Each structure stands twice: as structure tokens, then as C-alpha cells.
């Protein structure tokens, strides 16, 4: 009994300290858990920052590797529109887009380089009074991509590019403006080569050539290939005859009723080829003076107004600006073949190519059959004779038949068939 009491006392004594130590231990545990939580949060933030930095670096590398450069400060667009532009660029796969602005001359232009996989990007400069700068950008992005496909499917060692100058070519064009534009082309170091397009002439190319050698389509007396319009029209003519062969079993266009919409340089030459073959040619254009001249020169019939899509004809040949083939016009079309020289004829490539297919209308892809002009200026670079250029343009006939056959066999649109062949060449070259 005497021994038990001291032991109880010792136990109570140690118990008091034990509780104290337990309290301290709990505090330490709690503190440790809090520190651990803080550490986890810090770690997650560090990881987040690292991932963001990685993405930034990755984007920088991707943009550098693909040479995608864009300066939007020269455009009158808001932040949302800038985002749309960048998204569209990425989707279409452009390498470089350059915005050119010069207060002194009034120059406002956009140069779009879609691809340089096969060679330097070659494509004409178009001067047009666009309603908005976004409209101009959309146009140049689509046109430049079309040039890539055009060069690839034709077997040329060229990439795709295009340029647009915003303004009315009748009143706002000047030597100073064109020469300043030439300086912008020169700054690209040969990645882009320009040529004549809508609103431009061989004389304009001469002004541009004063500032850069990266230009084609100058006058023949100056060593250039001259106006590309005749050979562009000849390529369209070849594609049209191929479509006739595919649809009717013979490539003769004699007696066929063909509506040519747009009788500018290319349209006029196409009318000449068709008239020479004794086709029944109808013409439509906003320019009444041009209509009167072409009608008299080639014995063509003038069709005025917007009811051209309701006419019962054999072939519709769009040779003006693009996007004339849309949901409304296709639903009204009463023809068997669409074959023309305009670029970007389909407002929506997938939707409207399918709509034409469903109606049983043969569509010859524009970037295929209007490649004659590109072949013509390509001859300047490679030193081809005019006879060699013409022979290469004649081959559009065979390529068109190949694409029409492929589209039917694979159950796809002719546009898809043409793009797949062009992209295959790009893939093979890029390996």
C-alpha cells in the first residue's frame, strides 16, 4: 500500500505533462497539415505557371517554324475581329500575312503567303474597292490558298500567294502608290512574287518592277510574258471542253448555249474561243460599254439583270468576281455544267460543291481550269517559250477529266477530288 501511493502520484504527475505534450503534438500536426496545404497550392501554381510558359514557348516555336507573322495594328478591326482573323489564318494554314500601309501615297494593301513548300509564293495583285478591310482580308486569304492548290495540281514548282490593294483602280491608282507597294514586296526577300490581276495591267507591273525584281507579267518587249488573260481563258476553254466530253461524250461546244458572266480580259478571250467554235454565247456584265463592245465584236447576245441563273442553258461560265455560286443561285441554276475563270466561285466550298453534286451539275474546280495565267507567268521564271506554256495549259483538259473521274469513283465532289490531289503533292514534297 505504501508503494502504490507514490506510484499513483508519479502517474498523475506524468499524466499532466503527457496532456501538455499531446496538446503540443496536436498543434504541430495541425500546423504541419496547414503547411502541407500551402505547399500543395504553391506547387499547383508553379505547375500552372510552367504549363502556361510551355504553351507560350510552344506557340512561339510553332509560329517561328511555320513563319506565321501577322501585324494587325494597321487594320481597323476590334479585338474580336482580330481573334477571328488569327483563327481563320490558322485554319487555312497561312505562313505569313503582311499589312501594308503608307499615308503619303494612300496605299492600303494586304499580301498573303499561303505556302512556300513547292517554291516561292506566286500570285497576282488585285485592286478592288472593298467595302471593309475584313472583306479584303477574307478575299486575299481564300485567293492565296487557291494559288497554292493551282500550282500544286498543275505540277509547278511554286507556292501560293496573293495580294490585294484596297481602292478604286480607276481613280486611286498612281505610280507612287504602285512603287511603294513594290517596296513592300521587295522587303519579303523573294518569298512572294506578284503578277497582274483584277484592276491591274502590265503597265502597273512595270511601275512595281521599278522597286523589285519579284514581279512577273510585264510587257513582252521588256522581257516579260505579257498579259496572262489569253492563256488563262484558253485553260478555262480546255476545262470546259473536258467537262463536255465527260457529260455528253464529245468535247465539241458547237451549238451549246453558254452564258459568260463577266467580260473583262479573261471573259472576252473566252467568248472569242467559244464564238470561234460556233457556240451560242450569252454575255452578262455590269459594265455596259464592255458588253456592247464584246457583243458586237464576237456576235454574242447580251443578257442584262440578275435573272441569269434562271435561264435554261448548257454551261454557266462565271468569269467575274467569286462567290456567285451560293445556296440561292445554285437552287435556280438550269444548266448541266459550271465552268468559268473566276476565282473562289463557291461561296462555301463544302456546302455548295455538294449542292451542285446533288443537282447533277458538273463543276470544274476554278483553281484547276484557270491555271493558264499562272503557267504563263511561270514561264518567265523558268524561261519557257510561249509554245511550251501553251502545251502545258492544254494539259488542263486531261487533268480535268482525271478529277471528274476520281470524284465519281470516290463518291466525292469534284472540288474535294481536286484538293486531295493538290494536297497529296504538298505532303510528298514536305516529307
Q: Which three cell numbers stand for residue 314?
A: 448548257
Rg (alpha carbons) of the chain, rounded to whole number = 33
Dihedral-angle region of residue 106 (phi above 0 means left; psi in -120 to 50 means alpha; beta otherwise): left
Contacts (Cβ under 8 Å, ≥6 apart) of 207? 175, 178, 179, 182
Rounded Cα gap, residues 329 and 320, in angstroms: 15
Dist CA 139 CA 112 (whole Å) = 10
Separation between Cα atoms, residue 101 and residue 335, nearest integer Å? 44
Nearest to 98 by CA among 132, 60, 65, 125: 125
Phi, psi dihedral angles at 155 (to 5 degrees): 80, 30
Question: Which distant-in-sequence residues (6+ apart) come within 8 Å of 208 by Cβ?
Answer: 125, 178, 179, 181, 182, 185, 194, 215
What's the rounded Cα separation, in Å, for the pair 193 and 121?
6
CA dist 386 and 376 (Å) reads 8
The Cα–Cα gap between 36 and 44 comes to 12
Q: DSSP string of 233-251?
A: HHHHHHHHHHHHHHHHSS-
- Cα separation values, 89 from 97, 142, 143, 184, Å: 9, 10, 13, 21
Q: Which of 386, 376, 383, 364 is nearest to 319 (CA)?
A: 364
CA pair distance 291, 7, nearest whole angstrom: 124
CB 283 within 8 A of CB 301: yes
- Active-site residues, by number, are 162
Q: With contact defined as beta carbons under 8 Å apart, do 252 and 315 qualify? A: no
Amino acid at each position: 500500500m505504501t508503494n502504490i501511493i507514490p506510484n499513483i502520484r508519479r502517474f498523475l504527475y506524468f499524466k499532466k505533462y503527457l496532456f501538455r505534450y499531446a496538446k503540443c503534438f496536436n498543434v504541430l500536426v495541425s500546423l504541419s497539415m496547414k503547411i502541407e496545404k500551402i505547399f500543395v497550392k504553391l506547387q499547383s501554381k508553379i505547375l500552372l505557371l510552367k504549363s502556361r510558359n510551355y504553351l507560350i514557348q510552344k506557340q512561339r516555336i510553332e509560329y517561328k517554324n511555320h513563319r506565321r507573322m501577322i501585324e494587325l495594328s494597321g487594320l481597323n478591326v476590334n479585338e474580336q475581329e482580330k481573334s477571328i482573323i488569327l483563327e481563320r489564318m490558322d485554319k487555312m494554314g497561312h505562313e505569313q500575312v503582311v499589312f501594308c500601309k503608307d499615308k503619303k501615297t494612300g496605299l492600303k494593301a494586304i499580301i498573303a503567303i499561303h505556302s512556300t513548300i513547292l517554291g516561292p509564293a506566286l500570285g497576282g495583285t488585285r485592286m478592288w474597292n472593298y467595302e471593309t478591310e475584313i472583306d479584303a482580308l477574307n478575299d486575299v486569304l481564300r485567293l492565296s490558298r487557291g494559288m497554292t492548290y493551282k500550282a500544286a495540281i498543275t505540277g509547278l514548282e511554286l507556292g501560293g500567294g496573293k495580294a490585294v490593294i484596297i481602292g478604286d483602280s480607276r481613280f486611286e491608282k498612281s505610280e507612287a502608290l504602285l512603287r511603294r507597294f513594290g517596296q513592300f514586296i521587295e522587303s519579303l526577300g523573294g518569298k512572294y512574287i506578284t503578277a497582274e490581276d483584277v484592276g491591274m495591267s502590265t503597265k502597273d507591273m512595270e511601275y512595281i518592277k521599278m522597286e523589285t525584281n519579284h514581279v512577273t507579267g510585264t510587257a513582252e518587249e521588256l522581257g516579260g510574258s505579257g498579259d496572262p488573260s489569253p492563256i488563262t481563258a484558253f485553260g478555262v476553254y480546255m476545262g470546259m471542253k473536258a467537262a463536255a466530253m465527260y457529260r455528253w461524250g464529245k468535247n465539241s461546244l458547237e451549238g451549246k448555249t453558254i452564258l459568260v458572266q463577266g467580260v473583262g480580259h479573261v471573259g472576252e478571250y473566252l467568248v472569242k474561243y467559244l464564238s470561234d467554235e460556233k457556240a451560242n454565247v450569252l454575255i452578262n456584265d455590269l459594265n455596259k460599254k464592255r458588253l456592247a463592245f464584246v457583243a458586237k465584236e464576237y456576235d454574242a447576245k447580251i443578257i442584262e439583270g440578275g435573272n441569269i441563273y434562271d435561264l435554261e442553258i448548257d454551261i454557266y461560265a462565271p468569269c467575274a468576281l467569286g462567290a456567285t455560286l451560293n445556296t440561292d443561285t445554285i437552287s435556280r441554276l438550269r444548266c448541266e455544267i459550271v465552268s468559268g475563270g473566276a476565282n473562289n466561285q463557291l461561296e462555301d466550298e463544302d456546302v455548295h460543291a455538294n449542292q451542285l453534286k446533288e443537282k447533277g451539275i458538273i463543276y470544274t474546280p476554278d483553281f484547276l481550269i484557270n491555271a493558264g495565267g499562272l503557267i504563263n507567268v511561270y514561264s518567265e521564271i523558268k524561261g519557257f517559250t510561249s509554245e511550251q506554256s501553251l502545251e502545258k495549259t492544254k494539259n488542263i483538259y486531261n487533268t480535268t477529266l482525271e478529277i471528274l473521274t476520281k470524284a465519281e469513283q470516290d463518291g466525292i465532289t469534284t472540288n474535294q477530288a481536286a484538293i486531295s490531289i493538290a494536297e497529296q503533292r504538298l505532303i510528298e514534297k514536305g516529307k
